[in-house]
Amino acid sequence: MPKFNNSATRNTLGDISVLYVAVMARAVRHEGVDGKDLFSQFKLSDQRLASPDARISIPRFMRLGQAAITLTGNSALGLTMGQLTRPVDAGLAGLAAQSAPTTAKALATLINYSLLTSRNSRGHPSLDVGARRVDFYSIRPYNIFNYFVVDSVLAAWTQFLRDITGRFPVLSRVTLEYPSQGLDDQFEEWFGCPVSFNRKSNSLYVAEDVLNVSPLQAQPAMHRQLEESCAIALHRIQSGWQIQDRVRETLAPLLEGGAPPLEQVASELGTAPWTLQRQLAREQTGYRQLIDETRRGLAFDYIRDTRLALAEVAYLLGFSNPAAFHKAYKRWFSLSPGEHRKALDASNNGTS
């Protein structure tokens, strides 16, 4: 079972199961390209790809994806990945989801247990059954490295709906946060519905009659058993978390534009502010200290793993201005963020 790694080496921007890397390898082969050298360059052996518990950082996955797009010449490789994704590629959650009694329950299973195969500092995917909407959060601001991540996730969810219902189309519309890349017609043809860019969220809107459909592989008894296994696996991940780990996980997507008050984080965790303060004190830490530690970890990974402008990083970490970020960064690392980026670039082999 996957385990929560609380070490300093864990990438704070997020990580993803190699199950999704295996889907990328499948997509590269589908394009008629031998990707062995590419995956070898990123130190991803066949043995590593065959280990369902193995993960790589989200930034590494993004760099790998961009390299795969360059190799294949397919700017819409994310759609190809989605098309070739099977329920089993979502791991145990995918197997449980395809046996659910309704499509709504299938999507809920996939979303509720997404932490078994991926973790994202922006937040977790969500499902609003009433609005028939599924949302995905990606690392912002957008660039050539993370467009395909959004494409592949939304396309995989869409293909999942097609596979379990046997229907096409299954969506009423799609919205994407990032700007149009000139592939609008291709996207609309693939998704089978209108696709809008520069919107407030990365969302799939499921067609009105789809959520109540009974999946082709529905087996309620087996679904209950598999969902129990998912719950046990999720508990094993989260049982190693202290309250400070839960606070850090909650803080990361809320920092953008300004540090959230303790009351907001306590509400997100379903507890009272004074209770949260007391729990943190028992772990010999405090809320302000955790904000600082969370910012520090994210700052290092943004500087090492992205090409974001320093002003953008400052905003994403909730600093009032770039100067405040610059001052905090020198306190953390005894180097300015610009100097640290140059030093990291010089020592980075591009595959870490």
Three-state DSSP state, 131: coil
User: Domain 243-347 has what CATH class?
Assistant: mainly alpha
Q: What is the pLDDT of residue 252?
A: 86
Q: What is the pLDDT of residue 96?
A: 97
Q: What is the pLDDT of residue 73?
A: 95
Closest CA to 12 of 351, 352, 302: 302
Per-domain boundaries in the chain: 76-236, 243-347
284: number of Cβ within 10 Å: 8
pLDDT in tens, the chain (352 residues): 333 333 334 578 889 999 999 999 999 999 999 988 999 998 888 888 888 788 998 888 998 999 999 999 999 999 999 999 999 999 999 999 999 999 999 999 999 999 999 988 877 899 999 999 999 987 667 777 789 999 999 999 999 999 999 999 999 999 999 999 999 999 999 999 999 999 999 999 999 999 999 999 999 999 999 999 999 999 888 777 889 988 988 898 889 889 999 999 999 888 999 999 999 999 999 999 999 999 999 999 889 888 888 998 999 899 999 999 999 999 999 999 999 999 988 876 544 4
Q: Distance between CA 94 and CA 90 in Å, rounded?
A: 5
Q: What is the pLDDT of residue 279?
A: 94
DSSP string of 214-259, one letter each residue: PPTT--HHHHHHHHHHHHHHHHHHHTT--HHHHHHHHHGGG-TTSP
Q: What is the pLDDT of residue 351?
A: 41
Q: What is the pLDDT of residue 25?
A: 94
Three-state DSSP state, 45: coil
Q: Distance between CA 229 and CA 99 in Å, rounded?
A: 13
169: number of Cβ within 10 Å: 13
Contact call for residues 80 and 74 (beta carbons, < 8 A): yes
Q: What is the pLDDT of residue 166?
A: 96
Closest CA to 110 of 128, 91, 123: 91
Q: Given strand 171-175, what is the order of strands in its sheet? A: 126-128, 133-136, 202-206, 171-175, 195-196
Q: What is the pLDDT of residue 348?
A: 64
- For 174, phi then psi, to 5°, come to -135, 140
Q: What is the pLDDT of residue 9?
A: 47
Q: What is the pLDDT of residue 107?
A: 96
Joined together, the tokens standing for residue 232 give: 């046990």
Q: What is the pLDDT of residue 90?
A: 95
